[in-house]
């Protein structure tokens, strides 16, 4: 078990954090420069950086519209290894379809999955499918679950762009909590389970999800459907009120033994001495998971 938290940084060439501060961040996604609000950037930005005045688009918060500038482009493609993800500017959302800080998980998954013969992966709250497609490209059979039909359609579009149309991926529009409960009753098993739950959300039929009230029940069911032959669980959270020690405690409760790493996912900044922490994580794998099939 890891005694101290780790900080993991993205190593994706198609993305860079140019600057951040005053609760904003200046980012390069492929050839496009964006300004987005960022509640965790409390310090001051580098006001002399010219890119702040050259951004292609800016959004002030999640409930506003994108302000387009130099190049009025709403969507474009980004490559990650052999995969292609489409980034989009969608009004009323500051998210663009990819979370670059998650790249350390993709790299870690790719290496772990390469040890196994056709592993079964369950990706809960899968959004636009980055981890799903990384897993599929590494030879896994993947079940992708999300409560948003537009997100699943976006993920399937990324699948086609990546040349993985025939990959064994099941796309499930469902409430993640209910889906896992049904998998328990079906006695299905998965080798790798990924979950990135929001603090609050709604299922496709209006089901209410509150992470602080339901995460323990969800992890209990996940433990039941995790393969005894050697499982892996990756938990990510963006809750401002949570901490990596909280995630560590949860994982130790439900997955004793094995190997546990926990900490933060962050972005290094090319024009600032400050790193930008964005997400909490905990990654657990049984001792059997470390042995190649």
pLDDT at 291 over 60: no
Q: How many domains does the chain have?
A: 1
Across 203-212, 218-227, 237-246, least confident range: 203-212
Percentage, residues of the chain above pLDDT 90: 78
SS (H, E, C) the chain: CCCCCEEEECCCCCEEEEEEECCEEEEEECCEEEEEECCCCCCCCCCCCHHHHCCCEEECCCCCCCEECCCCCCEEEEEECCEEEEEECCCCCCCCCCCHHHHHHHHHHHHHHCCCCCCEEEEECCCCCHHHHHHHHCCCEEEEEECCHHHHHHHHHHHHHCCCCCCCEEEEECCHHHHHHHHHHHCCCECEEEECCCCEEECCCCCEEEHHHHHHHHHHHHHHHECCCCCEEEEEECCCCCCHHHHHHHHHHHCCCCEEEEEEEEECECCCCCCEEEEEEEEEECHHHHCCC
Q: For residue 111, tell me if it sits in a domain.
A: yes
pLDDT at 293 over 70: no
Kindly state the tokens that stand for 138.
């590494």
Report the distance separating Cα 186 and Cα 105, nearest Å: 29
Report the distance separating Cα 19 and Cα 198, nearest Å: 26
The residue among 245 and 114 whose pLDDT is bigger is 245
Report the distance separating Cα 132 and Cα 125, nearest Å: 11
| Residue with token string 């993205």 | 10
Sign of CA dihedral 150, 20, 269, 282: negative
Orientation of helix 211-225 relative to helix 176-186, angle to 10°: 30
Percentage, residues of the chain above pLDDT 70: 97
Kindly state the tokens that stand for 272.
């600032």
| Residue 46, pLDDT score | 85
pLDDT at 265 over 90: yes
CA–chain centroid gap for 293, Å, is: 27
| Residue 132, pLDDT score | 98
Report the distance separating Cα 246 and Cα 236, nearest Å: 12
User: Quick one: average pLDDT of 98-114?
Assistant: 96
Residue 116's pLDDT band (cuts 50, 70, 90):
confident
pLDDT digits (tens, 9 = 90+) for 25-75: 999 999 999 999 999 999 999 878 889 999 999 999 877 899 998 777 899
Q: For residue 17, tell me if it sits in a domain.
A: no
pLDDT digits (tens, 9 = 90+) for 156-209: 999 999 999 999 999 999 999 999 999 999 999 999 999 999 877 777 777 776
| Residue 92, pLDDT score | 84
Average pLDDT, the chain: 92
Report the distance separating Cα 276 and Cα 25, nearest Å: 9
Parent domain of 260: 6-12+75-290
pLDDT at 18 over 90: yes
Q: For residue 135, tell me if it sits in a domain.
A: yes
| Residue 129, pLDDT score | 98
Q: For residue 251, tell me if it sits in a domain.
A: yes
Kindly state the tokens that stand for 286.
């049984």
Residue 235's pLDDT band (cuts 50, 70, 90):
very high
Q: For residue 32, tell me if it sits in a domain.
A: no
Dihedral over alpha carbons 177, 188, 104, 98 (to 10 degrees): -50
| Residue 241, pLDDT score | 85
Q: For residue 37, tell me if it sits in a domain.
A: no
Q: For residue 56, tell me if it sits in a domain.
A: no
Domain with residue 281: its CATH number is 3.40.50.150
| Residue 209, pLDDT score | 67
Please give the backbone phi and psi of residue 226, each rounded to the nearest 5 degrees, phi first. Answer: -80, 135
Report the distance separating Cα 94 and Cα 71, nearest Å: 18
Q: For residue 199, tell me if it sits in a domain.
A: yes
pLDDT at 270 over 60: yes
């Amino acid at each position: 078990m890891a005694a101290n938290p780790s900080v993991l940084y993205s190593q994706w060439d198609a993305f860079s954090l140019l600057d951040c501060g005053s609760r904003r961040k200046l980012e390069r996604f492929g050839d496009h420069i964006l300004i987005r609000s960022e509640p965790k950037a409390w310090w001051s930005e580098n006001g002399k950086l010219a890119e702040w005045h050259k951004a292609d688009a800016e959004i002030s918060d999640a409930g506003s519209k994108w302000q387009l500038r130099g190049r009025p482009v709403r969507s474009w493609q980004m490559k990650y290894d052999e995969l292609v993800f489409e980034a989009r500017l969608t009004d009323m959302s500051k998210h663009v379809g990819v979370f670059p800080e998650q790249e350390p998980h993709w790299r870690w998954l790719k290496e772990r999955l390469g040890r196994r013969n056709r592993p079964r992966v369950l990706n809960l709250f899968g959004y636009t499918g980055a981890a799903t497609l990384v897993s599929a490209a590494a030879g896994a059979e993947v079940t992708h679950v999300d409560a948003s039909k537009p997100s699943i359609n976006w993920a399937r579009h990324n699948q086609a762009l990546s040349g993985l149309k025939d990959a064994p991926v099941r796309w499930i529009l469902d409430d993640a909590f209910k889906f896992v409960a049904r998998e328990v009753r079906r006695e299905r098993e998965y080798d790798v389970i990924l979950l990135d739950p929001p603090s609050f959300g709604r299922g496709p039929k209006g089901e209410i999800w509150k992470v602080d009230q339901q995460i323990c029940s969800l992890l209990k069911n996940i433990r039941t459907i995790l393969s005894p032959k050697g499982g892996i669980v990756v938990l990510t959270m963006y809750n401002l009120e949570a901490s990596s020690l909280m995630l560590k405690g949860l994982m130790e409760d439900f997955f004793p033994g094995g190997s546990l790493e926990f900490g933060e996912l962050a972005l290094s900044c090319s024009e600032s001495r400050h790193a930008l922490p964005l997400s909490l994580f905990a990654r657990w794998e049984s001792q059997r998971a470390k042995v190649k099939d």
